[in-house]
Structure 1
């Protein structure tokens, strides 16, 4: 079969379907190729949405336990894994069904199959024994990424999981090792701990969630140190042996000088029921024969693009994980709209000043703009305020006082440079800071904005007041 289309979108994840829908809304004839039976990609099916569904369950379980000091006690939960899996899957199905309807309403042609370029104007789509060729005038590559696998590990053993396997909830292991102390690993640790697993986390860097400021990570670290069996930093897994009784894991130092030694306070070996590998994701740029279209793909699998999402081939665009970090769905959707609008002739380019990051752990951590680590490394002169949630009436009323809201601003102008929040609902709260930065707001603007009381949102205003010197909820020594 041969099909002609104005705009071909390869990949039906958040970036891909957003690009396809936006292009269709702008009058383009669009064909969307997706390898899986439903749209939504990793995010809707085996990523963001199912993980947040399970994290909600974890939050309910944890709150039920932690309300006991208030005189409210509950019996131990009865967890029906099959019902939990079905509930999680039904939520994803609701969203993917909605996407299918939206594609139909917009007359977007959706083709199931694996797409590979055969020229700079043709894509071959294979679905089992069926094949068809699509001729396109312009294309948007939105093929995403996949979990990194470590070749020396026993990857054929079902007890060795990636994030997709972990979300399947086949069973709850008694002892679970999570390799990688980043966002994905710690979110899965939150879920499995709430469901009853004993958790050990191993991370090569000197802190969990590398890249985030240490003061934001500290409240989470202090909480999970009490909950988990072990958290091993500056440590790596050197070997995994599959035994009948479990996976025998050998540990070593992450330092090259001490490569043959185990990390500090780390056992030489330990046996776990299951091991989750969460050491990052790699782009899928090498899986689509992009070279046959003349598109440059680097050795890691990334495709370089300009501010309009164009690759080195003028009529072929790329968006999402395959164009670089951060690998986040909300970045991909923004890029998808840009690519579609450029194809439709609009004068559009990437102008976002920041991309917020959120770890949906307990407590959540969210940050945007300039981090304090980056400010120091770049020699940027800044002022900082960190408002402790122990002084927040709303936080205390929820039984959670470990949070912090941090604000960075330019020392001369007061213009907001960055913000970080750790605490309950931090992922929701960071939006105000993102908008403030995008609008060029100053600390004074935030300090003079009336926030509802008592709310967690007002902690951002309090942080601004700390820098402005007008706060009354804390006693700040005059400088």
Structure 2
């Protein structure tokens, strides 16, 4: 019996896969997407979106408790966390997953719920609830994402959580220990602290949030201290012992042993690409030591008709990077002469306050060019003051020709503001271009204009 032939096969429906599938369909390809779990992938169902929903809940709760500076007398807020979870799961996550499935259908993408394994470079076995069916494909995109790394001595269970478990607790823990002070640990630590938990973060490196610059992180650490979050750096987690009522975490700092009791321990020490269950060896593709698939600038693997994107290839494991990868990969399969350009990939931490960085840092820029950094404090921004959130700053990294090559923001809504700097880097804009752009008043974005004017040597508000 002749096998069904798929023109373009996309494996995985996360922010890389579903975007690649829709763009490929828009470019005239007949697309089939395969998803073994939920449409939308980890980001939408278990990561980016639900975590931001909890972060929002934490902000609102804190606003209800701390609005006396406005002259508001608010009675003690009563948090029904089950209602919070219902809102997160049904009114946020479910709405988006349903929307993505509708978009795939609207673009005539065939959806198969099942697991894919390669048979050879042109065939795949798809396992569904109805059994296993073999298909031929002309071209494929691997977009299977990643999963949390486990840690020796910390087996996942009811008291030892990965990020998915931490997002689906039935109640607010009184005490929460987080192993790993990277983006996920800092975000969830901040969220649960705002919701009322006593949070301790154990980070192995000398700095919280090691992927961000030190002066940015110090603003966050100061805010964390005010929230009562304890941050212990250079901490080596040894093991977690589950007790009748919680868990005891054993760790070391500079050779000295410590222990701390909590209701739960959350392990956020990184992620591993989902490439070990695809039978890639049958295609001739080999992964590196981290499990990543080597690809060229056009996302092609060593097997030309198979591309790979998102968390399964080198680069930042970010949802928006995966979506970008998906668009470019779809255009490659459509015959367009395109390749990736990672000059401005924004990195964000939705801590409280937020951190955002794009393009080059000053240290990175100085490796190859002559560059300077200019920054403007949010204390001088009217909108930040009116929000009572004026900690932090905006910074631009500028080369010898006054071209913006990077930027960083720490403070309220940094995640939204970084878009302007990202566009400036991508478009090769100068500080004059930003300074002469009329920014609405009063807005946080004026801080970027003020920074550009400072870079010109013509500051108005500093």
TM over 0.5: same fold?
yes
- Cα distance between partner residues in 2 of 1:121 and 1:85: 43
Q: CA deviation at 1:340?
A: 1.0
Q: Is 2:67–2:74's contact at 8 Å kept on the other side of the alignment?
A: no
Provide the rounded CA distance (Å) in 1 between the counterparts of 2:170 and 2:320. Answer: 29
Distance 2:390 2:105 in 1: 48
Residue in 1 that maps onto 2:177: 177
Q: What's the secondary structure of 1:118's corresponding residue?
A: strand
User: For residue 437 of structure 1, what is the aligned residue in structure 2?
Assistant: 425
Q: Which structure 2 residues correspond to residues 350-365 of structure 1 after superposition, within 5 A?
A: 350-365=340-355
- Asked if 1 retains the 8 angstrom alpha-carbon contact of 2:193 and 2:229, the reply is no
Distance in 2 (alpha carbons) for counterparts of 1:69 and 1:98 = 41
Matches of 1:241 and 1:381, distance apart in 2: 52
Indicate how the Cα distance of structure 1 residues 79 and 65 shifts in structure 2: closer, same or farther if over 3 A, else same: closer
How far 1:379 sits from its partner (Å)? 5.9
Does the CA-based 8 Å contact 2:182-2:208 persist in structure 1?
yes
Q: How many angstroms apart in 1 are the aligned matches of 2:243 and 2:152?
A: 18
SS at match of 1:190: helix
> In 2, are the aligned partners of 1:154 and 1:241 still within 8 Å (CA)?
no
Cα distance in 2, alignment partners of residues 371 and 54 from structure 1: 30
Tell me: CA distance 1:211–1:53, structure 2 relative to 1, closer, same or farther (3 Å).
same
Deviation at 1:228, TM superposition (A): 2.5
Give the Cα separation in 2 of the matches to 1:309 and 1:319. Answer: 7
Partner of 2:443: 455
Give a deviation string over 1:57-97, Cα, whole Å, max 9, x none. 11112222332122112222222222211111121111111
Name the structure 1 match of 2:384: 395
Q: Which residue of 2 aligns with 1:139?
A: 140
2:80 counterpart residue number:
80
Determine helix, strand or coil for the equivalent of 2:181: coil
Gaps of 5+ in 2: none
* Superposition deviation, residue 129 in structure 1: 6.2
Paired position in structure 1 for 2:372: 383
TM-score of the pair, normalised by structure 1: 0.93
> In the TM superposition, what is the alpha-carbon distance from 1:300 to its structure 2 partner?
1.4
Contact 2:405 2:428 in 1 (8 A): no
Name 1:214's counterpart in structure 2: 214
Worse-matched range after superposition: 44-53 or 128-137: 128-137
Deviation of the 1:333 alpha carbon: 0.8
Contact residue 182 and residue 211 of structure 2 kept, 8 A: no
Normalised TM-score (structure 2): 0.96
Following TM superposition, by how much is the alpha carbon of 1:356 offset from its aligned partner in structure 2, in angstroms?
Answer: 0.3
1:395-417: CA deviation from partner (whole Å, max 9, x where unpaired): 1111112121111101x211111
The answer on whether the counterparts of 1:142 and 1:320 sit within 8 Å (CA) in structure 2 is: yes
| Distance in 2 (alpha carbons) for counterparts of 1:346 and 1:305 | 17
> Aligned runs of 1:96-175 on 2, under 5 Å?
96-128=97-129, 130-155=131-156, 157-175=157-175
Q: Structure 1 stretches (4+) deviating beyond 4 angstroms? A: none
Q: Which sits farther off after the overlay, 12-21 or 222-231?
A: 222-231
Given that residues 21 and 330 in structure 2 are in contact (C-alpha distance below 8 angstroms), is that contact kept between their aligned partners in structure 1? yes
User: How far apart, in 2, do the equivalents of 1:111 and 1:251 lie?
Assistant: 45
Q: Distance in 1 between matches of 2:152 and 2:239?
A: 11
- Hey, what does 1:446 align to over in structure 2? 434
Q: 1:190 to 1:229 in 2, by over 3 A?
A: closer
User: Which residue number in structure 1 is paired with residue 460 of structure 2?
Assistant: 472
**In 2, Cα distance between the equivalents of 1:224 and 1:245?**
27
In the alignment, the residues of structure 2 paired with residue 322 and residue 199 of structure 1 have an alpha-carbon distance, to the nearest angstrom, of: 32
- Where 1:164 maps in the other structure, the secondary structure is helix
- Mapped contact 1:9–1:32 kept (Cα < 8 A): yes
Secondary structure of the 1:287 match is: coil
CA distance in 2, matches of 1:134, 1:401: 57
1:227 deviates by: 1.2
User: For the residues of structure 1 that align with 2:342 and 2:261, how far apart are their CA atoms?
Assistant: 46
Q: Deviations over 1:217-248 (max 9, x none)?
A: 11111010121341101112112112223211
Deviation of 1:112 (Å): 0.8
Corresponding residue SS for 1:100: helix
Q: Distance in 2 between matches of 1:236 and 1:127?
A: 42
SS of alignment partner, residue 374 of structure 1: helix
* RMSD of Structure 2 on Structure 1 (CA): 1.5
In structure 1, distance between residues paired with 2:259 and 2:368: 43
Q: Which has the higher mean CA deviation after the structures are superposed, 353-362 or 55-64?
A: 55-64
Question: Could you report, residue by residue, the CA deviation over 1:102-157 in whole angstroms, capped at 9, with x for unpaired residues?
Answer: 222222111111111111111112235611112101010000000011132232x3
